[in-house]
């Protein structure tokens, strides 16, 4: 192609690109897209972050704590303590500390964590037992009365207030039920079948027990009247939310999910350290084959038997050898009684019967001294050699 043809092709390409750009400019319309990246790391670390923000928006001062060590510094007057953290390790001393705080005027809200056991007369929740309330499963209750079937929201918990025509609705977990055997509760909230919140006076303070606190977590607090109920329980007070947000360390998680691998790694490390360790002294060279005589083998065998089977085995073997040789030298030796056998051995070996009786007497179970053992072996060897 000549230069004019190349120029023509280039001009055509430029015209096509320009026309396409103009078409896209005319047809294109800008728009916005909201990309949901999920909860922020702060919200993931604190499931009650939305509850804290809601209470702050209502003018309440909200603080966060991870354990009960902050309780001595909290003035119970006009203060609410929300115990939403795990309490399985709560000690009786801590229970007394929390209840004394509520008795002095504080508002305490906590979650019942264990079911009542009729056989033991208690539950595994020390705090719940101290306020004398019981928790059970809703499925163990009787069916609700017939008029309750007309309830349009049977799975929602209803809280009735004075001077209010309609109740407040909360989304408690209906699988659990609170009981008040002592009739101590002054207020409560029920679903169609069970009770999920009870409030009782305690000293000059109040204690509110709920079956769960999931309705106040980030995903559920905006539903129904959940947020309003939390504000109602803590209105006109400062709030301390106690919930542990600490996460397990890497070492804890590795040990929880890979214990076998960690044990194997530690074993390999120990074997490597043992193999690479510095020896204390030179290696002992093996003995030359030329000096391994029969006497050394016999002595080594005797030492092995003495070390593993004890003195009794060696002495009994020598006694049996003496008796075996006596049978060969004296026909009918087995038919003789013990005294006659000792007299026969005395004639054959020219040893006194006293020495023979000491040598052939039953071996004692207790360990002999080295001198006594050597003396006994010498007597038996003398008798055997004489036969």
Q: What is the pLDDT of residue 203?
A: 93
Segment 79-86 shows an average pLDDT of 92
CA atoms of 134 and 179, how far apart (whole Å): 5
Residue predicted with more confidence, 130 or 313: 130
Segment 373-386 shows an average pLDDT of 76
Residue predicted with more confidence, 113 or 277: 113
Instruction: Write the DSSP symbol of residue 100.
Output: H
Coil, strand, or helix at residue 225?
A: coil
The 10s digit of each residue's pLDDT in 200-258 is 999 999 999 999 999 999 999 999 999 999 999 999 999 999 987 455 567 877 887 88
For residue 353, which of 361, 117, 199 has the smallest C-alpha distance?
Answer: 361
Q: What is the pLDDT of residue 177?
A: 95
Q: What is the pLDDT of residue 196?
A: 96
CA atoms of 118 and 134, how far apart (whole Å): 10
pTM here is 0.58
Domain spans in the chain, listed from the N-terminal domain onward: 41-144+152-242, 295-386
Q: How confident is the model at residue 292 (pLDDT cuts 50, 70, 90)?
A: low
Q: What is the pLDDT of residue 321?
A: 78
The 10s digit of each residue's pLDDT in 93-124 is 999 999 999 999 999 999 999 999 999 999 98
Q: How confident is the model at residue 308 (pLDDT cuts 50, 70, 90)?
A: low
Q: Evaluate if residue 306 carries a pLDDT over 70.
A: no
Residue predicted with more confidence, 274 or 209: 209
Residue predicted with more confidence, 23 or 181: 181
Please name the helix (run of DSSP H) or strand (run of DSSP E) that holds residue 134, with its range, or none.
strand 134-137
Q: What is the pLDDT of residue 57?
A: 95
CA atoms of 220 and 215, how far apart (whole Å): 5
Place of tokens 């939310």: 241
Residue predicted with more confidence, 47 or 311: 47
Q: Evaluate if residue 359 carries a pLDDT over 80.
A: no
Q: What is the pLDDT of residue 16?
A: 83
Q: What is the pLDDT of residue 300?
A: 66
Q: What is the pLDDT of residue 1?
A: 60
Segment 292-320 shows an average pLDDT of 67
Domain 41-144+152-242 has CATH 3.50.50.60: no
Q: What is the pLDDT of residue 20?
A: 81
Mean pLDDT of the chain: 83
Print burial letters for 162-191: b (CB count within 10 Å at least 16), e (below 16). Answer: eeeeebbbbbbbbebbbebeeeebeebbbb
Q: Evaluate if residue 3 carries a pLDDT over 60.
A: yes
The 10s digit of each residue's pLDDT in 20-72 is 888 777 877 777 888 777 777 777 778 999 999 999 999 999 998 888 889 99
For residue 170, which of 245, 228, 127 has the smallest C-alpha distance?
Answer: 228
CA atoms of 297 and 305, how far apart (whole Å): 12
Determine which of 111-125, 168-182, 288-302 has the lowest per-residue pLDDT on average. Answer: 288-302
């Amino acid at each position: 192609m000549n230069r004019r043809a190349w120029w023509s092709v280039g001009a055509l390409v430029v015209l096509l690109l320009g026309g396409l750009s103009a078409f896209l400019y005319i047809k294109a319309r800008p728009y916005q897209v909201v990309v949901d990246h999920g909860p922020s790391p702060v919200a993931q670390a604190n499931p009650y972050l939305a509850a804290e923000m809601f209470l702050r928006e209502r003018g309440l001062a909200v603080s966060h704590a991870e354990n009960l060590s902050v309780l001595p510094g909290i003035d119970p007057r006009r203060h609410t303590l929300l115990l939403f953290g795990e309490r399985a390790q709560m000690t009786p001393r801590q229970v007394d500390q929390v209840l004394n705080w509520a008795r002095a005027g504080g508002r305490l809200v906590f979650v019942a964590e264990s079911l009542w056991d009729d056989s033991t007369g208690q539950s595994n929740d020390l705090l719940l037992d101290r306020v004398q309330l019981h928790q059970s499963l809703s499925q163990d209750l009787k069916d609700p009365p017939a008029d309750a079937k007309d309830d349009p929201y049977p799975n929602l918990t209803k809280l009735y207030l004075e001077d209010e025509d309609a109740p407040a609705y909360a989304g408690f977990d209906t699988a659990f039920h609170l009981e008040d055997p002592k009739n101590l509760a002054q207020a409560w909230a029920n679903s169609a079948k069970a009770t999920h919140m009870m409030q009782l006076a305690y000293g000059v303070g109040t204690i509110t027990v709920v079956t769960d606190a999931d309705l106040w977590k980030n995903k559920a607090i905006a539903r129904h009247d959940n947020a309003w109920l939390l504000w109602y329980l803590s209105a006109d007070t400062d709030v301390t939310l106690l919930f542990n947000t600490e996460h397990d360390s890497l070492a804890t998680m590795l040990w929880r999910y890979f214990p076998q691998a960690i044990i194997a790694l530690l074993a390999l490390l120990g074997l490597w350290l043992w193999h690479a360790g510095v020896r204390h002294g030179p290696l002992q060279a093996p003995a030359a084959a030329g000096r391994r005589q029969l006497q050394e083998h016999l002595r080594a065998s005797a030492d092995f038997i003495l070390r593993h089977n004890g003195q009794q085995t060696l002495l009994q073997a020598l006694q049996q050898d003496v008796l075996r040789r006596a049978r060969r030298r004296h026909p009918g030796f087995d038919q003789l009684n013990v005294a006659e056998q000792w007299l026969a051995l005395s004639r054959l070996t020219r040893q006194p019967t006293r020495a023979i009786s000491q040598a052939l007497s039953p071996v004692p179970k207790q360990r002999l001294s080295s001198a006594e053992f050597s003396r006994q072996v010498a007597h038996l060897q003398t008798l055997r050699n004489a036969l």
